[in-house]
Structure 1
Amino acid sequence: MKPTINFSPTISIVLPTHNGAQYLKQSIESCLKQTYPNIELVIVNDGSTDTTVEIINSFNDARIKYISLPTNKGIVAALNKGFSETTGEFLSWTSDDNCYTVNAFEVMLKTLENEENIDFVYANYHMIDVNGKVLKSGHVENPQGLDRDNYVGGCFLYRRKVYEIIGDFNAEAFLVEDYEYWLRVRAQFCMKKLDDFLYYYRMHGSSLTTAHGLEKIQDQVERIRAAYISPWKQDFLIGKRFFYKKDFSKSRTFLLKSLTMYPFYYQTWRLLIKGILRK
């Protein structure tokens, strides 16, 4: 028998926005037009000076909870304020320039309801331009991929107990606040990737990623990785990176260093032997 979805749980979506009026309406609509209707949308206006207020006020929907911060506090503060006001049994957040597919939360919730051992699910996405044209598709990876980078993406849903135990986002992880949070989640909860494409991630010149530059973001990723990933795994990942750059000498150096700390990881030995054979 095909499982039926229980329409009683509330899904709370936090949407922080700062001067994001250009795409905000589309983002709000994608949350409210879900095939799963029991949505609580918590919009946090982070000191916007554009037409954000007018756009939010144009929606006459009781599912919207509006919070206004008098000055710009930053995305981490906006997220933490938003989540503190949620009431749903399941939680998520999105950006003011991105959109969900119409069935995104129905699909993700169905997995969480059918698999009680899973606490956090996340899905693939499409990258779009300013006009909504699909540029390419992005595939998320299994939770182990977080050792290398933020492979969770922007489309996810998790149980409230995750938030209650993990707590707030970290202000010191600006630009990679989500990555740092996912690493904390992975350490205590069961995460699962879905093969569905349920999200549209917009590429444009005003996005945080573009504005701050990939190099700065990567520096933050490296700092966060060093704080949460064991030293032997870090050396393995560096050795692996040099291996695929065909710098086998540097690769061996880091792989051997990794083995001195943890000699039981098969992949380290495999890469080391392959590198020796190719020198």
Structure 2
Amino acid sequence: MTKISVCLASHNGEKYIKAQIDSILPQLNEEDELIISDDGSTDTTISIIHSYRDKRIKLTTCDVRDNAIKNFENALTRCSGEVIFLADQDDLWAPNKIETMLKALKTYDIVLSDCCVVNENLELLCPSLFGINKTRTGFWKNLWKNGYVGCCMAFHRKILNKALPFPAHIPMHDQWIGLVGELFYKPVAIKDPLTMYRRHEKSTTKTGDKSHFSLISKIRFRINLIKNLIRLYV
């Protein structure tokens, strides 16, 4: 049976993290794992995680503060599964998320699923993030306007082995993983909305908002991405 690793980055997530963990654990088998990397929570996040006393949950600490890329990288370097899922602390997974994405991963190497966008009370804001972002596969499309949202991604370990360590000065970890998948492996986007993507005032990213980076910064980011992808060929 394929071992699954779910990698979740946490930071002061006491308000939502229990509901998210409760949506993930029932989908995991005994040999699977939920790796949670915390980067210095000062609320009750850690005590909530410890309260589970579930051997599948493995808590680790990230030394770099307020850096989602480093926090996810810390979790990813510690996972041992053959299939890796990324998870945010404030979302909710559909009960069939792992089952559905594993089916796609029998044919493809990296899978991106759709999700519905909800507010902090789980009230529907938009039925499809794909519709907002005009999401589709394709290297050049996702180089300029990224559609790879981490909480909607799952991939085989061979992609992780190629993507780690994360290069410096990348826009986000999920775009980097997605582009590695696009360039070297077989990607697919499936229309099933398998996550309730919760948006609230403390969300790391704001759905539908334009990037705060200048055009020059965007170009520099993309040039850096291309340079680091070229290095993977060497």
TM-score using structure 1 length: 0.70
| 2-structure distance, mates of 1:122, 1:41 | 19
| 2-structure distance, mates of 1:183, 1:71 | 24
Cα shift readout 1:240-265 (whole Å, capped 9, x = no counterpart):
xxxxxxxxxxxxxxxxxxxxxxxxxx
- How far did 1:228 drift? 4.8
> What is residue 57 of structure 2 aligned with on the other side?
64
* SS of aligned partner of 1:27: helix
| 2-structure distance, mates of 1:83, 1:189 | 19
Q: What percentage of residue pairs aligned between the two structures are identical?
A: 28
- What amino acid sits opposite 1:155 in the alignment? C
Point out the more displaced range, 217-226 or 149-158: 217-226
> What is residue 132 of structure 1 aligned with on the other side?
122
> What is residue 234 of structure 1 aligned with on the other side?
none
> What is residue 51 of structure 1 aligned with on the other side?
44
Point out the more displaced range, 213-222 or 131-140: 213-222
1:162 counterpart = 2:159: yes
Q: Relative CO higher for 1 or 2, CA cutoff 8 Å, sep ≥ 6? A: 2
| 2-structure distance, mates of 1:20, 1:98 | 11
- What amino acid sits opposite 1:88 in the alignment? G
Q: Is the 8 A contact 2:5 2:33 kept in 1?
A: yes
**Structure 2: gaps of 5 or more residues:** 228-234
CA-atom RMSD, angstroms?
A: 2.4
Higher helix share: 1
How many corresponding residue pairs?
217
| 1-structure distance, mates of 2:24, 2:158 | 22
| 1-structure distance, mates of 2:33, 2:115 | 22
| 2-structure distance, mates of 1:197, 1:214 | 23
Q: Is the 8 A contact 1:121 1:194 kept in 2?
A: yes
Distance 1:17 1:180, change over 3 A: same
| 2-structure distance, mates of 1:150, 1:218 | 16
Distance 1:111 1:185, change over 3 A: closer
* SS of aligned partner of 1:205: coil
| 2-structure distance, mates of 1:10, 1:226 | 36
- What amino acid sits opposite 2:175 in the alignment? Y
**Structure with bigger gyration radius:** 1
| 2-structure distance, mates of 1:133, 1:155 | 19
Cα shift readout 1:34-89 (whole Å, capped 9, x = no counterpart):
27665310011111111111110121211111112356262122111111111100
**Structure 1: gaps of 5 or more residues:** 1-7, 231-279
| 2-structure distance, mates of 1:167, 1:185 | 12
- Say which of 112, 118, 121 aligns to 2:105: 112
| 2-structure distance, mates of 1:207, 1:129 | 10
| 2-structure distance, mates of 1:203, 1:217 | 21
- How far did 1:200 drift? 1.2
* SS of aligned partner of 1:62: coil
Q: Is the 8 A contact 2:120 2:199 kept in 1?
A: yes
TM-score using structure 2 length: 0.83
- What amino acid sits opposite 2:95 in the alignment? V
Q: Is the 8 A contact 1:91 1:159 kept in 2?
A: yes
- What amino acid sits opposite 2:137 in the alignment? P
| 1-structure distance, mates of 2:63, 2:224 | 34
